[in-house]
């Protein structure tokens, strides 16, 4: 679809944070190739991702350095965007792509810093950017596209911190979609399946998260869960990430459709299996949907150490009781 068929030749988009790698980087390149004016924000203007965007994109692309958890940097990005837009009528599209997943296990084992870190980026950062850019979007009667996750709607094992932040984002997005109807601004959520994006595909990243968790856990929790249980979770996450889909095009295509279609969808299920997952979650009994997620995602084989000991004691007690019954005199 040609951008000019909807909003003319001066079509400006902002893709905040996360354009260093992954969906944001791929989307910025593709949107630029469509002839759109793209404001792509990165954490590091001198990083590999920023250099790749400069090499592959046109002079229309504007790179901005933004950490969305820092309000002053968000405001500076807004000022820079306004200056670049000049007299043009607002900003057509805002793509909130930034996201982090700093979690390696059960909710009880997840550090409070993980919960706060996920909320700061995935929820509060997105809210901050959206509120800052909304006047420009209302002026253009434009679009907001938020990249979320099925983990925000469904209880994926070992993703409590990440899932909670995405659940907050999903509700914020849905509320915003209703509130902005009178302003002519359309709001969409994109729910990707599993894709290979940095840093999740980096083995060193998982090892760093693992070591941080081992060093931070209270001794009592370490004793009850066991280091082998925690290590297995890390290995399963790492394996899952390694086998993720490297083709990001379904997500990029969903972003483009949400931005350019005259009638964008409220929700996009981007990738194989997502539609089936939501069907099972919505229409099957809870026991079936929970079992489906457990089989699909982190397939644990170990129980926590304390439960293994308990099972061993119960097995021994059962064996002893059976032996005693056999020895009873007739």
Domains of the chain, CATH where assigned: 12-308 (3.40.50.720)
pLDDT per residue as tens digits for the range 99-109: 888 767 899 99
Kindly report the average pLDDT of the chain as a whole number.
86
pLDDT of residue 5: 27
162 is catalytic: yes
The active-site residue, picked from 162, 225, 229, 269, is 162
pLDDT per residue as tens digits for the range 212-244: 889 999 999 999 999 999 999 989 888 888 888
pLDDT of residue 120: 95
pLDDT at 1 over 60: no
Q: Where residue 8 falls among pLDDT bands split at 50, 70, 90?
A: very low
In sequence order, what E strands does 76-153 have?
A: 93-96, 143-147
pLDDT at 318 over 70: no
Contact 326, 247 (CB under 8 A): no
Q: How many of the other CB atoms lie within 10 Å of CB of 100?
A: 19
Write the CB contacts of 184 (distance below 8 Å, at least 6 apart in sequence).
138, 141
Give the residue-averaged pLDDT of 3-13: 41
- Looking up tokens 């807004």 gives 78
Taking alpha carbons only, the member of 294, 264, 265 closest to residue 277 is: 294
pLDDT per residue as tens digits for the range 143-199: 999 999 999 999 888 899 999 999 999 999 999 999 999 999 999 999 999 888 766
Name the token pair of 29.
Answer: 């390149």
Burial 51-79 (b: 16+ CB within 10 A, else e): ebbeeebeeebbbbbbbbbeeebbeebbe
- Looking up tokens 């200056």 gives 83
- Sign of the C-alpha dihedral, residues 83, 87, 90, 91? negative
pLDDT at 138 over 70: yes
Q: Where residue 12 falls among pLDDT bands split at 50, 70, 90?
A: low
Based on the number of CB atoms within 10 Å of its own CB, is 8 exposed (0-12), middle (13-18) or buried (19 or more)?
Answer: exposed
Output DSSP code: residue 302: P
Output DSSP code: residue 266: S
Give the residue-averaged pLDDT of 107-116: 92
What residues are paired with 65 via a beta bridge?
42
pLDDT of residue 330: 45
What pTM was computed for the model? Answer: 0.87
């Amino acid at each position: 679809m040609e951008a000019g068929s909807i909003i003319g030749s001066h079509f400006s988009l902002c893709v905040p944070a996360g354009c260093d790698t992954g969906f944001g980087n791929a989307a910025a390149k593709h949107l630029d190739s469509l002839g759109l004016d793209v404001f792509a924000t990165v954490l590091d203007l001198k990083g590999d991702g920023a250099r790749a965007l400069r090499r592959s994109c046109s002079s229309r692309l504007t790179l901005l350095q933004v950490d969305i958890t820092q309000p002053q940097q968000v405001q500076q990005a807004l000022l820079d965007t306004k200056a670049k837009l000049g007299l043009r009528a607002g900003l057509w599209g805002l793509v909130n792509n930034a996201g982090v997943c700093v979690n390696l296990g059960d909710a009880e084992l997840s550090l409070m810093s993980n919960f706060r870190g996920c909320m700061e980026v995935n929820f509060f950062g997105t809210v901050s950017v959206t509120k800052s850019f909304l006047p420009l979007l209302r002026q253009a009667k434009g679009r907001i596209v938020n990249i979320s996750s099925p983990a925000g709607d469904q209880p994926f094992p070992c993703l409590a911190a990440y899932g909670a932040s995405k659940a907050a984002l999903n509700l914020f997005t849905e509320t915003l979609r209703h509130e902005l109807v009178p302003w002519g601004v359309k709001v969409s959520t994109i729910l990707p399946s599993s894709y290979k994006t940095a840093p999740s595909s980096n083995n060193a990243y998982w090892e760093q998260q693992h070591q941080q968790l081992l060093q931070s856990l209270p001794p009592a929790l370490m004793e009850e869960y066991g280091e082998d249980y925690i290590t297995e979770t890390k290995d399963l996450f790492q394996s899952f990430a390694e086998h993720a889909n490297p083709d990001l095009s379904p997500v990029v295509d969903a972003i483009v459709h949400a931005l350019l279609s005259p009638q964008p969808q409220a929700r996009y299920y981007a990738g194989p299996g997502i539609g089936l997952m939501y069907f099972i979650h919505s229409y099957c009994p809870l026991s079936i949907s929970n079992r489906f997620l457990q089989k699909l995602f982190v397939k644990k084989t170990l129980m926590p150490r304390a439960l293994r000991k308990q099972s061993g004691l119960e097995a021994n007690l059962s064996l002893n009781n059976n032996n005693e019954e056999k020895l009873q005199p007739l």
